[in-house]
Amino acid sequence: MTSPLLSVRDLHVEIETNRGLLKAIRGISMDVNAGESIGIVGESGSGKSITLKAILGLLPPNARVTKGEIFVEGRSLNGMSDKERRAILAEKIGIVFQDAIAALNPVLTVGTQISEIPHRRLGWSKAKSHERAIELMTLVGIPEAEKRLKVYPHQLSGGLRQRVAIAIALSGNPKIIFCDEPTTALDVTIQAQVLRLLEDLRAKENTGIVFVTHDLAVVNEICEKVNVMYAGRFVERGTVEQTFQDPTHPYAYSLLKSAPDMEHPVERLFSIQGEAPDLTKPTIGCPFAPRCFAASEECLATEPELRHVHESETACHHATNFLSQLNAGQA
Ligand SMILES: Nc1ncnc2c1ncn2[C@@H]1O[C@H](COP(=O)(O)OP(=O)(O)OP(=O)(O)O)[C@@H](O)[C@H]1O
Ligand code: SF4
Ligand SMILES: [Mg+2]
């Protein structure tokens, strides 16, 4: 059996904050295979971006990985020098962050930025890198690519800048693309185009995609699998089809119920009361318990681990019967 492109095992990250040591990531594991698209969803502060940054070795200086192992094509990165690790990650993984304006260099033309990785990292000639930049710009749907090579980021619309960011992410021929809220700054039409582009890349180039977002509709559209994140852990994961139809964790259920459904609008949406826990304090029991309609004594005492439930994996003591608790509460 071939190894996944990327494997993450039991990743833990701590961040020094002025409130104390924050246990931001508390044991994340995941595999990314060629051609797979995996969504990571969860509310603000759940640890989505820190997970991606920890994998890529791009954590802020006050954060560090305290445990865990990362494998690229079966090769462990533990024990490698920072330089070696960064080189492997940069070769295999492209990144698109939310704010393309901030991610692009304002004083370099877009052509220079797109051809930089082929030229410097892959050692291609200037002419070949230049050709590659035109090819990538065309691939990501930037019209008149040759002419636009010479423009600066501020001369382009938000949608085109985001496409430039995707072209840069693709310029080193990565096997995986990490997208951290890549479309939230865009209007819906451009958002749909960017999503279609990512979907095309997955289908044609067999690129693995990890897509972080708040937007469940986006996950539904382009991901096959989903990881629902809460308080620094994945609390439910499975196929999008299974999880969206039949969530096995009350938080996943609540997130889905609270998302607007354009096809079946309702007057009042379900809302998740309360706040996420403060992870500078020790977690006792299930971190979702103070907000959960199905919480029991057991939930307050022991934090559940991920286990197989139906087709999914779920970290909930009441994965199979929480809906009856909800119905009983509403009766
Ligand atoms: N540089 C930092 N210094 C201190 N705390 C940080 C830092 N970066 C992130 N955190 C904290 O780490 C936790 C996880 O943050 P992260 O950015 O991963 O959240 P997120 O799920 O990506 O949220 P959002 O949806 O808002 O982007 C949060 O509690 C956040 O406040
Ligand atoms: S373990 Fe208990 S508190 Fe946590 S989500 Fe499940 S039912 Fe709710
Ligand atoms: Mg984030």
pLDDT tens digits along 283-307: 999 999 999 999 999 999 999 999 9
What integer is the mean pLDDT of 31-50?
95
What pLDDT score was predicted for residue 193? 78
What pLDDT score was predicted for residue 290? 95
What integer is the mean pLDDT of 96-109?
83
CA distances from 269 to 114, 228, 248, 262, 265 (A): 43, 20, 20, 12, 9
Indicate whether 331 pLDDT > 60. Answer: no
The neighbourhood of ligand 3, an ion, using CB within 5 A, equals: 48-49
Ligand sitting nearest the alpha carbon of 63: 1
* 268 DSSP 8-state letter: S
Per residue in 17-28, pLDDT tens? 999 999 999 999
The share of the chain scoring above pLDDT 90, in percent, equals 62
Does any ligand 2 atom lie closer than 6 A to the CB of residue 55? no
Indicate whether 200 pLDDT > 80. Answer: yes
Give nearest CA residue, ligand 2 atom 6: 316
What pLDDT score was predicted for residue 327? 72
Indicate whether 173 pLDDT > 80. Answer: yes
Ligand 2 centroid–CA 290 distance in Å is: 9
Does any ligand 2 atom lie closer than 6 A to the CB of residue 288? yes
Query: Which ligand 2 atom sits nearest the alpha carbon of residue 300?
Result: 3
Q: What is the CA radius of gyration of the chain?
A: 21
CA distances from 167 to 171, 205, 308 (A): 6, 14, 38
Nearest to 45 by CA among 176, 229, 304, 270: 229
Helix (H) or strand (E) holding 243: helix 240-245
What integer is the mean pLDDT of 53-59?
92
The share of the chain scoring above pLDDT 70, in percent, equals 95
Q: Which residues lie closer than 8 Å to 136 by C-beta, 6 or more apart?
A: 114, 167, 170, 171
pLDDT bracket for residue 268 (50, 70, 90): low
Task: State the Cα–Cα distance between residues 206 and 211, nearest whole angstrom.
Answer: 15
Indicate whether 35 pLDDT > 80. Answer: yes
Query: Which ligand 1 atom sits nearest the alpha carbon of residue 53?
Result: 18
What pLDDT score was predicted for residue 82? 84
Ligand 2: residue of 228, 318, 323, 324 to mutate (most ligand atoms within 8 A of CB) is: 318
Query: Which ligand 1 atom sits nearest the alpha carbon of residue 51?
Result: 18
Per residue in 119-171, pLDDT tens? 888 888 999 999 999 998 988 888 899 999 999 999 998 888 888 998 999 88
Decide: 161 and 101 in contact? Cβ < 8 Å.
Answer: yes
What integer is the mean pLDDT of 63-84?
93
